[in-house]
Amino acid sequence: MTSRILVIDDKENIRKLLSSNLESHGYVVDAAEDGETGVGMFKDVIYNIVITDVKMPGMSGLDVLEAVKEINPDTVVIVMTAFADMDDAIHALKRGASDYIRKPFKLEEIRAAVEKAISTQGIIAENRLLRREVEDKYKFDAIIAKSKQMEQVFESIKRVSAANSTVLITGETGTGKELVARAIHFNSPRRAKPFTAVNCAAIPTTLLESELFGHVKGAFTDAWSDKYGRFEESEGGTLFLDEISEINPAIQAKLLRVLQDGEFSRVGENKVRKSNVRVITATNTDLHRAVEEERFRKDLYFRINVLPINIPPLRERREDIPLLLRHFLDISCKDNNLSLRHFSPEAMNALLNYSWPGNVRELQNLVERCSLMCAESEIKKEELPAELLAAETNNPGGNAEMIFSPDSDDNVSLKQTMSRITETIEKEMIIKALKKADGNKELAAQLLEISRRSLFYKLKQYDIG
């Protein structure tokens, strides 16, 4: 696509020289004799690049820069200035100009500046596309789930995203705590700023303080130069601290200070630095017990537990399993250039009855393994990992009945399959609620968080006495 350039200069010879030269190199060029005319033209046609003189009668080049950026921030503005007016060039750069050219100039300098501007625009457009893809990926509704438990997690993400308070995400390993943390960040006002993740358990204790807060040259052996910490790298954005329970008491005290006062110091310095970072923490351990056992500071626990979110394990939300299986199968087949795969009814039932100790991460790894190792489009039960089949035989992970019938043509429909799974789990939950309520239907309805009328309808629907 040909770039459109607007040249603004009160000297006709400059306008003609630039227009002629740039057009000879394939650009579409328009020219204006003053700032007011140029801005008026810009309102009618959005130009990729504006080249403007700084010193002009009436509207100055700096005023043009400000007006252009207000209309379209993505337009690249290059200012031309005499050597004696270099302060104007500096002011222009501070206001958003991409480059400046000193008069008298060589035409090669103008072309180089234009080429650089076009390259910059390409990078900006690419970054915007990548950011949009990232934001779409981490929208809370992009998390694959339909269970009631995960709907509650989605609601929590909605509520906490707009806030600045700390969030504590709890859940077993593999449940997707970092995914939830990213969803919070990319749905928050801080989305344009950095998201930084640190696994506190993966970094040696001796290095963790430096990793988080940075250090100055000579602070310790091998500290050959100053180093930014993750708090500085995350300025204005979000810092995700996974496995927060693993940090030692000294670092806990320093973390508490930055959370309470927004202040910290690099390792080896006395200078106090300010921090504007939202902290999201996560753990798969019982932090309350860690506090009771004096392994974790009580004041820090209360400080990070302002907005808690718990992610239920996969075995407690089995209706999400078929959705996740289909999602990860599609991804694996696409990434590995494979024809579409599907699990046989017997394999699907084995997967539904498995306890998934590794949760979603284990499921994703299993799907990728099966899609690559199985030659046929249908993945059969006997092709599932031996450890999964052994676990199913020795200790079934749930009470899911044989939802899929090998002889039924209905298995072709994903919609019907999902409906059967939902009905089966719903029926099981109603029976459990009735049992817990000793047959009291009104109490059972309260436990299920549905109306008494809805409960009676479902009792009739599922033929529950």
| Residue of higher predicted confidence among 371 and 462 | 371
- Max CA-CA distance within the chain? 95
Residue 138 belongs to a domain: no
Whether 113 shows a pLDDT value over 60: the answer reads: yes
pLDDT at 447: 79
Grade residue 137 by pLDDT with cuts at 50, 70 and 90. low
Grade residue 407 by pLDDT with cuts at 50, 70 and 90. very low
Domain co-membership, 335 together with 240: no
Whether 401 shows a pLDDT value over 50: the answer reads: no
> Tens digit of pLDDT for each residue in 1-19?
568 899 999 999 999 999 9
> Among 75, 108, 133, where does a domain finish?
133
Q: Which residues contact 304 (CB under 8 A, 6 or more apart)?
A: 166, 168, 244, 259, 279, 281
pLDDT at 412: 44
CA distance 314 to 351: 11
Tell me which residue of 9, 64, 18 sits closest to 42, measured CA to CA.
Answer: 64
**Percent of the chain whose predicted confidence (pLDDT) is above 70:** 86
Give the tokens for residue 91: 């002011």
Which of the residue ranges 69-73, 163-167, 327-331, 453-457 would you say has the lowest mean pLDDT? 453-457
CA distance 148 to 265: 44
Q: Which domain holds residue 402?
A: 314-412
Domain co-membership, 335 together with 366: yes
Grade residue 296 by pLDDT with cuts at 50, 70 and 90. very high
Q: Identify any residues that bridge with 238 across adjacent strands, giving them in sequence order.
A: 195, 278
For the chain, the domain total comes to: 4
CA 295 to chain centre: 31
pLDDT at 84: 53
Helices (H), 5-103: 12-24, 35-44, 61-71, 86-95
Whether 406 shows a pLDDT value over 50: the answer reads: no
CA distance 399 to 393: 13
For 461, phi then psi, to 5°, come to -60, -40
Beta strand ranges found along 236-369 (DSSP E): 238-242, 263-264, 273-274, 278-283, 307-310, 342-343
Residues in the chain: 465
Q: What is the dihedral of CA 372, 378, 384, 390, to 10 degrees?
A: 180
Grade residue 215 by pLDDT with cuts at 50, 70 and 90. confident
Q: Which residue has the tokens 């310790």?
A: 220
Q: Considering the entire predicted model, what is its pTM? A: 0.60
Domain co-membership, 307 together with 391: no
When pLDDT is averaged across residues 441-460 and rounded to a whole number, the result is: 78
Domain co-membership, 254 together with 323: no
Give the tokens for residue 53: 């003189």
CATH number, domain containing residue 154:
3.40.50.300
Domain co-membership, 271 together with 350: no
> Tens digit of pLDDT for each residue in 9-60?
999 999 999 999 999 988 899 999 999 999 999 988 878 899 999 888 889 8
When pLDDT is averaged across residues 410-424 and rounded to a whole number, the result is: 53
pLDDT at 353: 87
Domain co-membership, 308 together with 318: no
Which of the residue ranges 111-125, 153-167, 232-246, 405-419 would you say has the lowest mean pLDDT? 405-419
Domain co-membership, 173 together with 93: no
Beta carbons of 363 and 325 less than 8 angstroms apart: yes
pLDDT at 85: 63
Q: Mean pLDDT for the chain?
A: 84
Domain co-membership, 289 together with 159: yes
> Among 371, 396, 412, where does a domain finish?
412
Q: What region does 427 belong to: left with phi over 0, alpha with psi -120 to 50, or beta?
A: alpha
pLDDT at 51: 92
State the Cα angle at 374 between 369 and 376, rounded to 5°: 145
When pLDDT is averaged across residues 78-107 and rounded to a whole number, the result is: 78
For 82, phi then psi, to 5°, come to -75, 160
pLDDT at 369: 92
Domain co-membership, 162 together with 113: no
CATH number, domain containing residue 358:
1.10.8.60
For 20, phi then psi, to 5°, come to -65, -45
CATH number, domain containing residue 71:
3.40.50.2300
Grade residue 312 by pLDDT with cuts at 50, 70 and 90. very high
pLDDT at 398: 46
CA distance 191 to 280: 14
Whether 414 shows a pLDDT value over 60: the answer reads: no
